[in-house]
Chains A and B, each alone.
Chain A
């Protein structure tokens, strides 16, 4: 010890804060640990050059008709155009 455990989402139901807990939180002390006190020298190892909204590259082909026709068209496309079946 000590050991570090990380937990995945879904392991438990989220427990929401109660009103009493929210009120009590206001009085709790928040400890601040300055980086210098840790005795580690950290320089940046990477830099973000640009942040942007992803460009949509796909064009959706809509298949129409009765359910039977649409289903047949889809299988045709998957077999011969996309060739994934």
Chain B
């Protein structure tokens, strides 16, 4: 199978989910005895193309154009249509990021092809490639296969694959520039300046450790305690929906089906019951710790470690312990 992986970068910085999808692309290429080309798209991205070329793939396609320096759905769709026309892949894989959500359906539809989005995994069985995706807020899972002629489009959820399983190449892959024909009048939206809503806002999907609070935190006055723990652990603070609805933390800190989907290496859930809408947003985390006074809380179903107890006693104890080891 001929695979095309489309990576994502912004201002020369990778979106790390790209490497998770690269890991899946490498595995599918190996299993189907196929080939893999990786696309880097934007402007001034030669260094990134070099970095990508060090991983195990057959070719890196460098899609550069002045009109691609800032992301626009029109610009990216047109450039990638042309890239796909030249590369003629069977399968196009993308990380399921905000940006990909924005343009990938348009790209697939413009070619009259389908897309299986937000996959949590895949299987290769009897020569058939099956994609696994969640339905009904993660209550059920579905196996989906492509019908009709290639190319097929699929996106992988953050945390679906492990970036640390990416294989480095024995030698550097060749980098091929792709000439795209793009005119200013074809781009119908104009991106203005990027801004962060809150001064301290972060992209939670990139945080290695998250301390997340739910209803059990009881009052906004108690949030600094969780923030202190997050800081000591070198992580960020996030929350379940009720906390953001109450305005105790900004909306961009919300994890779950109406917030962000994250997969940090450590997710610490404080006083979060684990409603399915929350769990879909964090269950890909490598290690999950739940602290809850209700031993039947569904959050324990997905937790690796659980403490049944009062978070107002346990969190200060954790802070003490961490400060102690920091001090020595």
Contact = CB atoms under 8 A, between A and B. Distances in A.
Contact of A60 (B114, B115, B300, B320): B300
A74 B318 contact: yes
A75 B314 CA distance: 12
Interface residues of B, number: 52
A8 to B, nearest CB: 8
Interface stretch (B22-30, B43-51, B165-173, B301-309): B301-309
A84 interface: yes
A25 interface: no
Given A45-B113, A67-B317, A84 B287 contact: yes
A44 B306 CA distance: 45
A50 B298 CA distance: 25
Interface string A43-85: 1111111111110101011111001101110110110001011
A29 B305 CA distance: 55
Contacts, number: 126
B147 A78 contact: no
B233 interface: yes
B143 interface: yes
Nearest to A52: B141
A60 B304 contact: yes
A10 interface: yes
Given A67-B317, A85-B233, A60 B141 contact: no
Contacts of A51: 135, 140-143
B215 interface: no
A72 B321 contact: yes
Contact of A49 (B130, B152, B258, B325): B130
Contacts of A53: 139-141
A37 interface: no
Interface in B221-245: 233, 244
B251 interface: yes
A18 interface: no
Contacts of A45: 113-115, 146-148, 152
A77 B305 contact: yes
B246 interface: no
B53 to A, nearest CB: 31
B266 interface: yes
Ranked nearest first, the 3 interchain pairs of A and B with the lowest CB-CB distance are A45-B114, A71-B317, A67-B313
Interface of A: 8-10, 43-54, 56, 58, 60-64, 67-68, 70-72, 74-75, 77-78, 82, 84-85
5 contacts: A47-B146, A52-B143, A60-B290, A68-B317, A70-B307
Interface of B: 113-116, 130, 134-135, 138-148, 152, 209, 233, 244, 251, 254, 258, 265-266, 286-290, 300-310, 313-314, 316-318, 320-322, 325
